[in-house]
Structure formats: C-alpha cells, structure tokens
Amino acid sequence: MVLSLALAGCVVGPDYRKPTLTMPSHWGTKTSSQSAKAPELSRWWKQLKDPTLDALIEEAVVGNLDVASAKAKIREARASYREQKGALLPSVEGTASATRTRTAASDASSEATTYSQYQTGFDASWELDLFGGNKRAAEAAKYGVDAAEEELRDTMLTLVGDVASYYVQAREYQALRDLARRTAISQRKTAALTQAEFKAGSATGVDAAKAEALASSTEADIPTYEISYATAVHRLGLLLGKPPAALEERLKSGGPIPRPKTEVSTGIPADILSSRPDVRLAERQLAQYTAKIGQAEANRYPSISLTGDIASSATSIADLGKKSTIGWSFGPSLTVPIFQGGQLKAAVDVAKAQRDQYYVAYQAAVLSAMEDVENAVVSLTQERLKHGKLSASATSYRRATDLSRTLNQAGVTDFLDVLDAERSLYSAEEALIESQASIATDYVALNKALGGGWDGEVDSSEPAVVDTNTGPHLAAAK
C-alpha cells in the first residue's frame, strides 16, 4: 500500500514545453535596427470612424451562428475537463434492492412459502493512477479547453474581418453605381445635344451615334454594380445571423468607403505568436496531444484500484438497521498487462505520431501567419502609391475633359476627342474608387494577419432559449 501511494505521484510521458521557433527580426525590406512599434490591434475597426460598421460588428458578435457553434465547443471542452478530473477522485455508489420470493410446496410441506428480502449498501473504488494516466488525460482535457477558447477567438477574428470586408465592398459598389449614374446622366445630355446638332447640320451622324453608344454603355454598368452590391449586403446579413435581405433598407442610403489612417505599425513577427488565435490554437493542440502520449504510455503499466463495499440485508425494511445481516469487503485489485499483441505500444506510437503532426501544424501556422502579414504589408503599401497616381490621373482627365469640350465648342477639335476624354475620365474615376476600396480591404487584411479582433470577453454559456423551429437565441456578449 505504501509503495502504491508513493508510485501514485509518478507521471509517465513527456512534459510539454512550448517550442521555440527562429523568427526574423523585421518585415520585408525594413532594415532599421530599432524595434518596430507594437501594432494597435484592440478593436482596430474603430479607427475607421464609421459608426455603421461599428454597429454591424457588434451585432455580428452576438448573432453569428459560427460564433454560437464555437461557444458550444467551449462548453463541451470544459465539461470533458471536469469529467477527466473526476477520474482522479474516488467513486462511491449507493445500492438498494427489494425482492419478493415464493417457493413451491414440497413433499414435506403442504404450503408454499413467500418472503421478502431487502438489501442496501455502498460500493466504493479508487484507481491509484500509479503512472499518471488519468493525470495526463486531465492535462490533455485542460489544453483542449484552451484550444476551444482560441478557436472561438479565431472565429471572432475571421468574423470581424469578413464583416468589415463585405461592408467595404457594399460601399464600393454603391460608389461605383452612383458614379455610373452621374456619368450616364451627363453623357445622355451630351448625346441629346449632339443629336440636336446633327439635325441642325452642325454635327455628323457618327458623332451622334457614338455619343448615344457611350451613354448606353455606361448605363449598362449600373445593373452590374447593383448585383454586386446586393450580394455583399446579403452576405453581411448572414454574417449577422439574419435573413439575407435584412440590411437592405438600413444600408440603401449609402455612405463613404472607410478610410484607414495613413500609417499602420506592423510590429515584429514575434507579435504574431501572442496575438493570432490560429497560432495559439495550433500551439494548444500541440500541448494537448503531447499530454496524450503519457496517457497512452500509462496503459502499458500495471494499475491498482482500491475497492470496497458494505451491504445490509433483512426480511423487512424496519430490520435493516437492527436485525440485519451486514457484510463488507475491502482490498486492492491489481491489473497487469501481460500480452496485448503489441496494441499498447502501437497506441503510444499513434499518440507520438499525432503529436508530431500537430508540431508540424504549429510550424505551418506560424509561417502562414508571417506570410499573411508580409503580403498585407506589401499590398497596403503599394496600393497607397497606386491610389496617389490614380488620383493625379483622374484630376488630369477631368481637366482634359473640360478643355476638350471648350475646344470642341470653339470648333478647334473633333467631337470624338470629347467622347474619348469622357470615356477616359469615367474609367479613371472607376479605378480611383476601386483603389480606395482596395486600401480599406488591405487594411482589414493586415489587421486580421496581425491577430486583431474582438478583445472583449464573450459569454460562452448556454443560450437562454433553444427553439427547434427558430434556432438558438444567442446570449449577448459581455
């Protein structure tokens, strides 16, 4: 017994240590020896100064169905952890039975005999966990809780980024649609004026036909932008856990494309490890499957359980505590695995192979995180340069359009020059709007890559109401 209790503190299998990965000291072409300023990731979307976007993200955190599923996984993981911790403690069960027995008459007795039998007792058992199998199982379950919590954070990060991205798309297509409408109205007026001049003999039929074609071509862009806008709005509705068309009335009045601040500090690669939920999730899963090696290893060694029971039986309930028959037993039981056909050793090898897979997955998550940041930094930086050039281009085309109209009215240039200038101006303004939206999208992608997301606590308790017809009514975020 003393030896068993002493061995109960023994835990087989490897102890988990967080792996150290070699990280570069800077992003891309940054060569400064000074460390970069840590990025401001806490609710980064607030920096866009768009109240509508803020409200949509708040609602998505409460109503999104993927978030609800992730919360349920946390509850499952926590319950599994409590279950595994319970295996470390003794178990006690109470038993009770009542039987009514009738024996048939024999040759010596002419009457049958009927009697009752009542029995009550307790059974207790405790596995001493000599080699720490149950401890490793509880350890793995605890890491599983951590992993589930990181999965929720990762879901929240993805959700916030998706809501922001689709909101930017919705505002982009609204802006492009409005541009197409304004341009089409102007071109339609030009076409009408050209038709009048053609009838008066001061313009050619070619001029009138081309002016009409240009206006019709621009008008044809409007339905395309309407389709893209509706698709973005419908996706936003689903992200908020609402019907697809729920936000149409709310967003139809329009609004500007969000404009991120000029500079975004990206920090150093090590910041990713402390902020990206998918990296932390991979690391927690690695810890969980490292603990499972010890759980499998412990099954290869003997196990000792202490068992005991006490029972009382009598022919009436009243006699159970007075004239009853009391019996008890207590003692250890030893189980020694002698031959299992290599199954137990194979189970350890399986656990080690799983651990190795999650170590590779952890390395891949870190590299993927670094790639995401590098790509986002390059995209945002270059898109800002592109936007500056497109802005200058649109300004020049606007000036060229005004000048060509003036010269055409003076009879110096051909009318086709006016149409070409209007067409070029429309294309330049389209590209300028798309570039502004790309800057906002790249800004969203960079903050997602850096691990920015919802930094508040989210209630993972069970929903207040679960209706089989309407689905879960999700609890509000704290």
Q: Per the domain annotation, does 121 fall within a domain?
A: yes
Comparing CA positions, the residue from 186, 138, 164, 152 lying closest to residue 50 is 164
Q: What is the pLDDT of residue 472?
A: 41
Identify the bridge partners of residue 305 per DSSP, sorted by sequence position.
127, 333
Q: Per the domain annotation, does 214 fall within a domain?
A: yes
Q: Per the domain annotation, does 462 fall within a domain?
A: no
In our burial notation (b when 16+ CB lie closer than 10 A, e otherwise), range 409-425 reads: eeeebebebbbbbbbbb
Those residues whose C-beta lies under 8 Å from the C-beta of residue 169, and which sit 6 or more positions away, are 228, 232, 437, 441
Q: What is the pLDDT of residue 320?
A: 74
Q: Per the domain annotation, does 378 fall within a domain?
A: yes
Split into its structural domains, the chain has a count of 1
Comparing CA positions, the residue from 157, 232, 227 lying closest to residue 448 is 157
Integer angstrom CA distances of residue 452 from 38, 160, 260:
12, 9, 15
Torsion angle defined by CA atoms of residues 365, 368, 369 and 372, in that order, rounded to the nearest 10 degrees:
-160
**What domain range is 433 assigned to?**
51-93+117-450
Distance CA(401)–CA(417), nearest Å, equals 9
Q: What is the pLDDT of residue 179?
A: 96
Q: Per the domain annotation, does 363 fall within a domain?
A: yes
pTM, two decimals, is 0.84
CATH of the domain at 306: 1.20.1600.10
Helical pair 343-409 and 415-449, crossing angle rounded to 10 deg: 150
- Token pair of 379 as six digits: 């995209």
Task: Count H helices and E strands in the chain, helices first.
Answer: 10, 6
Q: What is the pLDDT of residue 266?
A: 62
Q: DSSP string spanning 73-105? A: HHHHHHHHHHHHHHTTS-EEEEEEEEEEEEE--
Are β-strands 465-467 and 91-103 bridged in parallel, bridged antiparallel, or unpaired?
A: unpaired
Q: What is the pLDDT of residue 264?
A: 63
- Catalogue the E-assigned strands of 338-468: 465-467
Q: Per the domain annotation, does 76 fall within a domain?
A: yes
Residue type, 216: S
Only one residue has tokens 């973005």, namely 232
Q: Per the domain annotation, does 78 fall within a domain?
A: yes
Q: Per the domain annotation, does 414 fall within a domain?
A: yes
Q: What is the pLDDT of residue 32?
A: 45
pLDDT along the chain (478 residues), means of 10: 55 90 64 54 87 95 93 94 90 87 67 78 87 92 95 94 97 97 92 87 86 93 97 96 93 93 66 82 95 93 88 78 76 87 94 96 92 91 95 95 88 83 94 97 92 70 52 37
Q: What is the pLDDT of residue 27?
A: 61
